[in-house]
Each structure stands twice: as C-alpha cells, then as structure tokens.
Amino acid sequence: MRMTSQTSSNEEASLLHYDYEEHQEEKICQICLLPKQLVITPCQHTACISCFEHVLLATCNPPNFRTSVNNTENTKEFQEDTIIAACPTRGRCPFCRRSLDMFQLKYETTRECVYSNTVKLDENSLAGIVFVNTNKMIGDHSVHFPVARENGSGTQEMPFLSFEECKDETLDNGCSLPKQKMLQHGFHFHKKSKTFSGTINWTEGPNGSTWNGSDRWEVIMQFSSDLVHVLNGAIIKHRSNNNNNDYQEACPLDGWWEVRQRLTRRQRTVDLEEDDDNNGYALVGRIQVVGNSYYLRGKRYVINLQGDDDGRPNITWSGIKKPCGGVYQQVVETGIDLQRKKDGPDVGDHIVWTIDHPDYHRILWIRQSKCFTSIERFGLEHPDFITYRQHKTMTHSSKPTYNRENLWGNVFIQCLKVGVASYHFVSAEDEGVNGVYISYEHRDCGLWGLLDDGSAVPSRVPFVNHTFDKENRIFRGSIPWMDAYNTCWRGHKVWHYEIVFDQEFLCIKSGSVVMERMDGEEDVKHYFGESLIYLNAALVEKIEEEVDIIIQQEDERNNGSNNNNDSSTKRVKEKIKLSRNTVNRLHEEGTSTRTINEIQSVFLKILQPGQDPIDYNLS
C-alpha cells in the first residue's frame, strides 16, 4: 500500500537533500517508504503519523456512509464496522485490518501516546460551548464544555452531559438520574478532524449504577470547522458481561430490526414496491431499539412491554393524531412470548404488529441482531440520527444587503439558503475572507462529507487570484484546496470559476466551475444556469423596496387619497408587474430558463405579506 501523490509528492522531493546521518533514529515508514519517526499500534504495526492519519481519516466514513456488512449477523466485525462508520478517528489497521483508534497510537521509541489526553478546552476553542439536540432543550442530554478555569481541587473543570430536564428518568438501581454526569479525565480532541472523544462511567459515585444496562458511554463528536454543528460521531453505550442477562430480560427487544409495512391497496399502486419474498410487506427501514425505545424518521417511540389490559406489548404513536381525537397504537399480534423466552425473539425471528391506522394496518419487524453495545449516531443526513448544534450560535449577524450598481457587497445563494456554498463578495481590495469567499456555514453542508484527508470542510473558503471585469460583469477566481489546505476535496485539487452576472446583479446568468484533479486534468465542469442556480440573497429586500418606492410615488401623485384597505392588493399587483418586467429583462440578457423560473418562484412566494422564502442562516 502506498500513499497518494497528494501526500508524497512534496516529501519525495525532500529526499534529494536528506541528511541520513542527522536522522539516524528515524526508520523507513512501510507505507510512504520515507524516513520518518514511527508510531506503533496496539497490534504492533508501525508507520509514520501522517500515514496513519491519512489511512484512518481518509477512509473514515462520511455521514452518508452505509455499512456493507451483512446486517443479519450479530458478529464482532459488524459491531466494529458500525462503530467505525460513526467515529472519524477509527478505522482498520492497514496491515492486519484490526479495529484501530487513532488515539491508541504511541511513539515506537518512547511508547508515549501521540495524542495527549490532557486537552485544554480553551486552547481548542471549545470552552464555553454547549451542544443541544435540535429536538430537545438544554438539560436533555445536552453536551457542555465549561469555560477553562481552575476549580477548588486545582484541576480543570471537565466536560459533562446535562440531564436536568430528564426528571422522570431513573438509573437501573432506582436512583434518580444525576443532573450532570462528568466525563472521565483523559478525553481527547483531534484538531485536524475536529473530533472530541471522552468517556462516562455510570457506575462511579455514591449512587452509581448502570442505566438501561449500560455501565460506560463513549461520547465521540466530530464538529464542523466553525464548531457550530456536529457532523458525525456517536454515543457508544457499552454493557459489561455481568449485567447482560439481567438487562436482556428488562429490555428483550434491544438490537437492530428491519421494519416492513403491509401495503394497502392504494399503496400497491402508488409509492411502494411490493416484495414477493415477504408476503406483500414493503421495506420501511432499519431501527435500533435501545432501552425499550427507538427513533424512526426523527421521532422517538417507546415500547410498553407490559401492554394495557390485554397484556400485549404496544407502542403509542404520539406524533400522529387521529382525525376524531386520540392517538394511534401499534399492538403485538404475534412473535413475542416473554414468559417462554425472556430475552425476546432470536435473530431472524418476526414480530407482527397491528395498528388502527388506515395506511398501515400491519407492520413486520425482523430481528437482525441482539446488541450488547448500542450505538446512537450523531449526524445530519439521516432522520434517525441525533442532530446536535451549538446553542444560540449566530452564524450571521444580519441579512445580506443588495447593491445594484456593483458586485461588491452582494451575496449569491443556491437553494435559497445562505451558507450552502454561497458566494460572498466583500471587497475588491482585500484578500481571504475579507475579500471573496464561499460559505459552508449552513447545517446542510454537513451532508457533503469531509475533505479527502478526513478533516472538516472550512466554514469559509477564500478565493485566490480573483479579478472582476466590471464592464462585462465577469468574476474569475480559484479555490486552491491543495495549496491552501494540503488536501483535495473529492479528488480535486483546485476549482476554477468564471461567473457572469446580469445587469442588476440579481442573479448569476452564466459561467462555469472547472474542477482539476491532482494530475492537472480537468475532471468535472459545472455550468451556472444549468446545474448551478444562484440568486442574490437580498432578492426579497430588493423587491419589497422597489414596490415601496412605486407605491409611495403613486400616493404622492394622488395626494395620499388612496384607500388603505387597497394597499395589500396594490402591493400584489405591483409585485406581479415587477416580476414580468424582471423576467423580460433577464430573457433579453440570455439568462437560463431554470434561473428565471427560480426568480419567479420567489416572486410567487412573497405575494402574501410577511412571507420570505430565503433561509438567511441567522440562528
């Protein structure tokens, strides 16, 4: 195995002037074949730090990873691959394929840890930050990184999880859940990948006990480069062998299940494909039951094992109300006999549920595993993942403004969202983020994966060598991924832009982005007006201001005699007229149909007063 050219090209050149006598303690790395200081893994394999980082981070799975392991096998390999998929600093040893955590690496000569476990929060910009589940509040599993200061014992305050709002929860010994649970000393933070890793021991303390059978949690969070969103990671809930049997009797359905739905006659002809092998049941997805509860499509469901009067286990669908009032209930029909089998159905067994909902009727669960280690994923792209973001973070302090006369001061957006690869033209004279940059500050950018070395995409990426032809309204510039960040993104080392604007800087009417590979060859070319549709982020502000001016001028001509009751109708008429004039002008300038349609859709959405379809990413 050898490194890619992006890692080795500069280092190979340095061999021409390498002083081997000066570096006698260095050895040859078995991956890049260069003389380096080596580090060693727990499985006793050696390579240099940069190679291990490249192997682990570059092969770490981005948020849209799907494991290819046979999910019906409850194997150690499946458990390891599931954890690797969720944890950016984990992968497999490139020599023996054993599971490997980057924080386990040690220097070969001294056997000291490569990555310190005495992390200072203030040195990594984590101090004072709180991350909150977007569906919950502070105190409901929120993660706190306290401001670095010395407490009474002379040690730094530790990060903790807050459970102050979980007042009805109890530990397995019946004691109340603690309001705060500190992470143990010895947590890690990997700066390059923005990954935090720490451990909670539930059995510590005077009232220490397991919680839902778990005695230890690993909390692993990979943050966006601006520390606003949690892109990837997991809470890994471990259970020691001595409480597995008791736990399985209390939570016999814990593990992975495949969920299938019996198709109604209407659905058989509309949206779901029937599976002949499962007697008309269509695949809905997979769930992981943890502590008699699970998440599906962003909603939490709790399994009532005791059932109601009939004793049959059931699940209340609290998120869906019946038209006549009340809630739907999913009740076991067959497949569970906890008197005969206390640890629940075996792998491969079925549970059939009935439900009083007209579109579902019957639901089939097929057991895929009995998990003694449960994993709750962090992430953005999947509705079943836990979505965390920094509490009360103001990404942008105000809405973008509109400049009709010049490019500078304008912001151009796609998908009507600021921060989704939006272009910010700040100043012609300055460089970096004070000049022109691309913003990846919106949470949706977390779906696009990491840079090729496993590090998070920077929140703001400046253009270099940029120019603007004012007469023809053409901007040119480059995004040098390799030169600026020493890595590629999706195999591309540099992006070259040519952007052409309309006369009033309302949209990008044409142009292209050329993506260049490491070998200098053009790989991908995207065209503005086709695959890239960009509008001015201040479009709504521009429309409303123009309508205000038109109505004000008309009122002045009529000496203010217009009826106020007709003002809203008048605004609608003026917006429709302005829309027609704008579309005609853009057609004459050669703007693409797709771009014009996007502008028309904005006009339609703001016909009603107070409507604004643009996400300014202000909070």
Lowest mean pLDDT among 59-73, 524-538, 586-600: 59-73
pLDDT for the residue numbered 154 = 45
The closest alpha carbon to 343, from 310, 371, 380, 376, belongs to 371
pLDDT for the residue numbered 435 = 94
Query: In sequence order, what DSSP letters do the residues of 219-248 get, joined into one string?
Result: EEEEE-TTSSBEEEEEEEEE--GGGHHHHH
Instruction: Write the DSSP symbol of residue 290.
Output: B
Instruction: Write the DSSP symbol of residue 330.
Output: E
Q: Quick one: fold of 5-61+89-107?
A: Herpes Virus-1 (3.30.40)
The closest alpha carbon to 369, from 306, 436, 287, belongs to 287
The mean per-residue pLDDT over the stretch 549-569 comes to 73
Q: Which residues contact 493 (CB under 8 A, 6 or more apart)?
A: 6, 480, 481, 482, 483, 516, 517, 518
Q: How many residues comprise the chain?
A: 619
d(CA 529, CA 512): 9
- Per-residue pLDDT tens digits for 390-410: 665 445 567 899 999 999 999
The mean per-residue pLDDT over the stretch 280-287 comes to 81
What are the counts of helices (DSSP H) followed by strands (DSSP E) for the chain? 9, 35
User: Which pTM value belongs to this model?
Assistant: 0.66
What is the number of other CB atoms lying within 10 angstroms of the CB of residue 516?
Answer: 21
| Strands of the 142-145 sheet, one edge to the other | 180-182, 160-162, 142-145, 129-133, 388-390
- Per-residue pLDDT tens digits for 108-158: 999 999 998 877 877 778 888 888 887 788 898 999 998 755 544 445 578
Give whole-number Cα distances, 326 to 316, 317, 322, in Å.
10, 10, 6
pLDDT for the residue numbered 362 = 86
Q: Return mean pLDDT, the chain.
A: 82
Rg (CA), the chain: 29
Query: What element of type H or E holds 578?
Result: helix 567-589
Give whole-number Cα distances, 153 to 161, 180, 206, 371, 481, in Å.
21, 18, 19, 39, 46
- Per-residue pLDDT tens digits for 489-535: 989 999 999 999 999 999 999 999 999 998 888 887 899 999 999 99
Query: In sequence order, what DSSP letters do the residues of 476-537 get, joined into one string?
Result: EEEE-HHHHHSS-BTTEEEEEEEEEE-TTSSBEEEEEEEEEETTS-EEEEEEBTTTB--EET
Domain ranges of the chain: 5-61+89-107, 121-239, 257-360, 394-619
CB 411 within 8 A of CB 400: yes
d(CA 529, CA 597): 11
State the pLDDT confidence band at 196, using cuts at 50, 70 and 90. Answer: very high
Query: Any alpha helices (H) in 239-337, and if so which ranges?
Result: 244-250, 265-268
- Per-residue pLDDT tens digits for 291-350: 788 888 777 888 998 887 778 899 998 777 788 888 888 999 999 888 888 878 888 889
Query: In sequence order, what DSSP letters do the residues of 421-451 get, joined into one string?
Result: SEEEE--SS--GGGTEEEE--SGGGGGG---
d(CA 161, CA 572): 51
What is the number of other CB atoms lying within 10 angstroms of the CB of residue 78?
Answer: 19
pLDDT for the residue numbered 38 = 95
d(CA 571, CA 577): 10
d(CA 382, CA 24): 50
